[in-house]
A and B are shown apart, each in its own frame.
Chain A
């Protein structure tokens, strides 16, 4: 159980999150949607402790985790932009993270899945964006943590890798994990999401299932429903 309680965050004068209250209970894929700059990544980074909110608390399993670090043992995270130290090789990076986490891992299986074997000895700075994202995915899925956070996971991936990614997410969902995903790809949401959270101007505008969202906005498909939601609230 993860809950955000009255989270406020502003960068300088720009208010990004404006009193976010959100509870994520039970396993499943929770997708966070919202236009660019609506605060999706900030919310995720607050959960991870990378961004410090001005106000509010993050509670995991009825423990406040702000300012703590041990709880991150239970979290796997895929950052939005795959940026790594340029002069490490792929295998060195993976070894380093394994060394730091000291948990059992399945890196080899994932390396095979995403066909990364030819790149293992290459420097990360020389990899293409898509390959880097695959390395990113290996790092995010190699530990068996309870909570998985994926920030725009499909960015730069070829269709084959996207299929593998969805497969991976489905498997993890079956294990009862909490999977938190931000994305702009509606087909991905329609296919994968158990719950949709719509974030707009730093507030939660909708939380519920795909069907509920469509019913609420009288729309045939998700894209329309989101568009209606945006128009109603922006007009």
Chain B
């Protein structure tokens, strides 16, 4: 698997898109630090961007890479390699290279600004881990969609839709639900609903870590009240990891049955 991971990884690292992604984060990091001129503020702005952007880039890149590397996949399938090894190698290759672009792209400006010496370093690291987790989750979802859809256009369409769903539509539905049923106790419902959306979950995770109750919103507040900060942090991280593991399990199952 390491071999395939290596090839996918280097293949991607050489492509323009990885550079583009890296340079984008680099510019974003510098711009935010310049404009805010304060680390905590820059980190909060960054969080708002990361929870929306990394899923988008993850799904689009995931689908694009899967369809583009179809030849490579077919070549590998005829070799004495297990199917699961091929797909895991490719998955880890793309999710890994995207995460690396994120970590380096943001890490460099923040290091230059002196984040290491400030009290914000753990918060910053948390933010990067959060972004990386989101990348792994959404690349996995993208892989599932591409495995199910031979047609690229359809695959792309579904990928954008799934991002839109989790980033925008889900919250809208959630709010409507809260308004309609405002006379009922909704704590447990909103807890469950948050767990089912990795983007919400990761937002709450970072906000809990940053300890900014003003920004937590209703669900975040419920979350904090229900579990306390430490338990809340643990639980949301655990759920995010679960959000990674489950789609990967589905990839492994689906890839065994697919014809090439």
Give residues in A with beta carbon < 8 Å to B. 11, 45, 48-52, 67, 69-73, 75, 77, 79, 83-88, 96-97, 99-101
Q: Which residues of A contact B258 (CB under 8 A)?
A: 52
Q: How far is the CA of A77 from the CA of B78 in the complex (A)?
A: 7
Which B66-92 residues have C-beta < 8 A from chain A?
A: 69-72, 74-83
CA distance A35 to B71 in the complex (A): 25
B81 touching A100 by the CB < 8 A rule?
yes
Nearest chain A residue, comparing its CB with the CB of B4: A100
Q: Evaluate contact between B78 and A85: CB separation under 8 angstroms.
A: no
**Roughly how many angstroms separate A84 CA and B78 CA in the complex, as a whole number?**
13
The segment out of B7-15, B107-115, B162-170, B174-182 that lies at the interface is B7-15
List A contacts of B3 (CB < 8 A): 99-100
A79 touches B72 (CB 8 A): no
16 contacts between A and B (CB under 8 A): A11-B259, A48-B78, A49-B77, A50-B259, A50-B260, A52-B257, A52-B258, A52-B259, A73-B80, A79-B74, A84-B71, A84-B72, A85-B69, A85-B72, A87-B15, A99-B3
Closest chain B residue to A49, Cβ basis: B77
Kindly list chain A residues whose C-beta atoms are within 8 Å of the C-beta of B14. 87
Which residue of chain B lies nearest to A42 when distances are taken between CB atoms in the complex?
Answer: B259
- In B12-38, the 8 Å CB interface with A consists of 14-15
Number of interchain pairs (Cβ within 8 Å): 61
B81 CB contacts on chain A under 8 angstroms: 69, 72, 100
Enumerate chain B residues within 8 angstroms of A45, measured Cβ to Cβ. 259-260
Query: What's the interface size class on B, roughly?
Result: 20 to 34
Query: In chain B, what residue has the closest Cβ to A83?
Result: B71
- Give Cα A75 to B72, complex, Å: 18
- Report the separation of the CA atoms of residues A100 and B1 in the bound assembly, to the nearest whole angstrom: 10
B181-216 CB mask vs A (1 if < 8 Å, else 0) is 000000000000000000000000000000000000
Closest CB of chain A to B18's CB: distance in Å? Answer: 12
How far does the Cβ of A121 sit from chain B's closest Cβ, in whole Å? 15
Asked if residues A69 and B260 are in contact (CB atoms below 8 Å), the reply is: no
6 A-B pairs with least C-beta separation: A83-B71, A72-B80, A73-B80, A51-B259, A85-B72, A77-B78
Question: In the complex, what residue of chain B is closest to A96 when comparing beta carbons?
Answer: B7
CB of A79 within 8 A of CB of B78, answer yes
Closest to B260 in A: A50
Chain A's nearest CB lies how many Å from the CB of B11?
7
Residues of chain A within 8 A of B69, CB atoms compared: 85
Residues of B close to A79: CB separation below 8 A? 74-75, 78
Q: Are A51 and B260 in contact (CB under 8 A)?
A: yes
Asked whether A97 lies within 8 Å of B79 as measured between CB atoms, the reply is: yes
CB nearest neighbor in A for B76: A100
Q: Which residues of A contact B259 (CB under 8 A)?
A: 11, 45, 50-52
Q: How far is the CB of B205 from chain A (nearest CB, A)?
A: 37
Q: Are A72 and B75 in contact (CB under 8 A)?
A: no
The reply to whether A101 and B79 form a contact with Cβ atoms under 8 Å apart is yes
Whether B79 pairs with A72 at a CB distance below 8 angstroms is yes
Partner of A84 from the list B75, B77, B83, B257 (CB cut-off 8 Å) is: B75
- Given A50-B259, A69-B82, 4 extra CB contacts under 8 A: A45-B260, A48-B78, A67-B256, A72-B78
Residue ID in chain B nearest A53 by CB atoms = B259
Alpha-carbon gap, A99 to B75, bound state (A): 14
Contact yes or no, B80 A70, CB < 8 A: yes
Chain B residues within an 8 Å CB radius of A83: 70-71, 74-75
> Residue of B at shortest CB range from A77?
B78
Determine which of B11, B77, B257 lies in contact with A85 in the assembled complex, contact meaning CB atoms within 8 Å. Answer: B11
Within 8 A of A (CB), among B37-96: 69-72, 74-83
Contacts of A87 in B (CB 8 A): 11, 14-15
